[in-house]
Structures are given as structure tokens and as C-alpha cells.
Amino acid sequence: MPNKVDGSLSNDLLTLLKREQYVLLSTIDHETKGPNVSAISWLYAVDDQSIVFAVDQKSRIVSNIKGNDQISITLIGNESTYAINGKASLIEEKMENVPLKLTKYKLSIQEVRDVMFYGAKMSVEPAYEKIYDPEAAAKLDRSVMAELKKDLSR
């Protein structure tokens, strides 16, 4: 049975991606031309066709996207695993009003593919916890998410 493919986020996935969420971001490495996978959590679904996300300016992700704008976000949720594929575009080289030097991108979604293997469902979604100062983590998360939600008309 083939996996379901859509051209946009479902309402369930849109809801999941309206809050901080653990995902895997896959890019093409600018040096090796092979796959590069990174875990990120600062992302926000603008609508069913686009997701904005933030990464450290010094991250390899920045160089990789400059070399090849095709990316994939892997999301585990809604009892399955999804590959959200499309093109990344630079929104802000340095995000304002956040204490870290972060770069903001927009993923224009071309395809959302349910990639869960046949006959199975995810019974538990990934969970993580911040291991540094909880107050500082919450403050940073709030500031990054607020900046991600700004200027969403771009």
C-alpha cells in the first residue's frame, strides 16, 4: 500500500506545528553533497503551505541551504511519521530581539508524505527537556517563537 502524499499540511499537522516541536531537518551538505540531518525545535507553521524556522547562524544548515535550497523536515506526530519537503528561503540573516545569533528561514512546502512503514503507528511521540536553566530556556523560547511569528506575510 503506497504512503499518502499531499501538497500541504493537514489540519492535524498544522496544529502540531503551531507550537515548539521536535523535528529533524535534512539538508544536502555543501561539501560532501551527502545528506545532513539536524534536530531543531524552533519552527512554526504559518499556514498549510509554509513553515518558518530558526537555526544558529554558525550552523552547517546555513551553508547547506545556500548551496541547495531543497530541504526536508521529518515530523513524528499524529500517530505517524511525515516528511515535509520543499524549498527553503532566507527571511532574516540575523533575527532581531533574540539573545542568540539566529537565522530565520521559510520552507515553502511542495510535498507532505506519510512515511510510516505499513502496518504500524507511532504510539508515543518524541519528548525532550531543556537541560539548562528552565527560566532562561522558557524566556529564550518565547522570544524566538515571537520572532518566528512576526512578518508572516513575506
Query: Which helix (H) or strand (E) is 147 found in, with range?
Result: helix 134-149
Domain ranges of the chain: 5-149
Reduce the DSSP state of residue 85 to 3 states and report it: strand
Nearest Cα neighbor of 16 from 69, 72, 85, 73 is: 73
What pLDDT, on the 0 to 100 scale, is given for residue 132? 84
What pLDDT, on the 0 to 100 scale, is given for residue 1? 45
What pLDDT, on the 0 to 100 scale, is given for residue 30? 96
What pLDDT, on the 0 to 100 scale, is given for residue 152? 64
Say if CB 48 and CB 9 are below 8 A apart: yes
Nearest Cα neighbor of 45 from 98, 8, 93, 82 is: 8
Instruction: Determine the CATH number of domain 5-149.
Output: 2.30.110.10
Whole-prediction pTM: 0.92
Rounded Cα distance between 112 and 69, Å, is: 17
- Where the chain has pLDDT below 70, the residues are 1-3, 151-154
φ, ψ of residue 128 to 5 degrees: the values are -145, 165
Nearest Cα neighbor of 62 from 87, 88, 35 is: 88
